[in-house]
């Protein structure tokens, strides 16, 4: 009897683990304020939007360095073997009226005035791998403007296009160069949490960059997302 109960519990555990491959995870915060959902670029009438809980990645970074990385910027292929990168020119602003420049070093700038604008880039990962770190290279020479980058996951049923059945999750923290800071060329990174698994049949992934338009003073150069087999 005890053996059967143990098997039952194990079986249910495996099933539940299988269902947790993609979409919002325990601890993610559901956004319920319609204005906030709209500000995030989604429709409160149809989209379930979640924000990943903050991750204290100091221990993860220490563990990564302990495993043999030369530095977080130069990962050891034996530790974090594979990554996907997009450069500034892979991004596109959210409407055609936003003036932009792709300067010669492949970075993205925004030359509009006034409010900030969002640019998006598709990013792909192979199925059933775990997303780990997001690295951002940018230039910020403005004391009033900056760039903020985040990674999003949109999961949708294979057999139903109804958007009310989708879930949208910001799976990374926002990497921010700061509006009051002018750090010049920067490299910033953050961990997306321990259990962000790619489920390619149902989920798509995109990077969002919110730029305060400051011409070449603020530039987004590259975003690299690491993933592993663990």
Partner 1 sequence: MTRTPFILALLACAFLSSASDAADYPNRDFRVITGVDGKPARSDDSYSYASGNYRCTNTSTRATPHVVRYPFNLPEGTSVRYVSVYGRRTSDATPVTLRLMQVCQSQTDVDSTSTVLATRTPLGNADGYFISSMEFSPSPETLDCRAWVEASFDISTMACNADKASIQRVTLETEPADRIFRGTFSVNVDYTLP
Binding site for partner 1 (CB under 8 A): 1, 4-5, 7-8, 11-12, 14-16, 18-19, 21-22, 41-43, 46-47, 92, 94-97, 118, 120-122, 124, 126-127, 152, 154, 156-163, 168, 199-206
Q: Report, in Å, the least distance between residue 225 CB and partner 1.
A: 14
In angstroms, the Cα distances linking 111 to 33, 86, 119, 215, 217 are 31, 21, 13, 5, 10
The encoded tokens of residue 63 equal 């563990």
Query: 165 in helix, strand or coil?
Result: helix
Q: Which is nearer to partner 1, 5 or 74 (CB)?
A: 5
Q: Which is nearer to partner 1, 6 or 53 (CB)?
A: 6
In angstroms, the Cα distances linking 186 to 33, 58, 69, 132 are 33, 19, 20, 20
**60-72 exposure pattern, b = at least 16 Cβ within 10 A, e = fewer:** bbeebeeeebeee
Q: Which is nearer to partner 1, 30 or 157 (CB)?
A: 157
Q: Report, in Å, the least distance between residue 23 CB and partner 1.
A: 9
Q: Report, in Å, the least distance between residue 47 CB and partner 1.
A: 5
Q: Report, in Å, the least distance between residue 136 CB and partner 1.
A: 19
């Amino acid at each position: 009897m005890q053996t059967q109960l143990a098997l039952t519990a194990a079986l249910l555990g495996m099933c539940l683990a299988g269902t947790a491959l993609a979409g919002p995870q325990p601890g993610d915060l559901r956004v319920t304020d319609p204005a906030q959902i709209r500000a995030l670029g989604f429709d409160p009438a149809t989209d379930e939007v979640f924000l990943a809980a903050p991750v204290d990645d100091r221990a993860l970074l220490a563990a990564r360095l302990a495993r043999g990385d030369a530095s977080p910027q130069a990962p050891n292929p034996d530790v974090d073997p594979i990554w996907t990168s997009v450069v500034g020119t892979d991004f596109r602003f959210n409407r055609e009226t936003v003036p932009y420049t792709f300067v010669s070093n492949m970075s993205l700038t925004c030359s509009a005035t006034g409010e900030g604008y969002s640019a998006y880039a598709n990013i792909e990962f192979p199925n059933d791998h775990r997303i780990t770190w997001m690295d951002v290279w940018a230039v910020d020479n403005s004391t009033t403007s900056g760039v903020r980058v985040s990674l999003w996951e949109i999961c949708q049923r294979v057999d139903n296009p109804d958007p009310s059945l989708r879930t949208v999750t910001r799976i990374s923290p926002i990497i921010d160069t700061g509006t009051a800071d002018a750090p010049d060329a920067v490299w910033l990174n953050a961990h997306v949490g321990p259990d962000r698994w790619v489920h390619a049949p149902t989920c798509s992934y995109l990077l969002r960059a919110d730029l305060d338009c400051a011409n070449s003073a603020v530039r987004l150069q590259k975003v690299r997302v690491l993933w592993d087999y663990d």
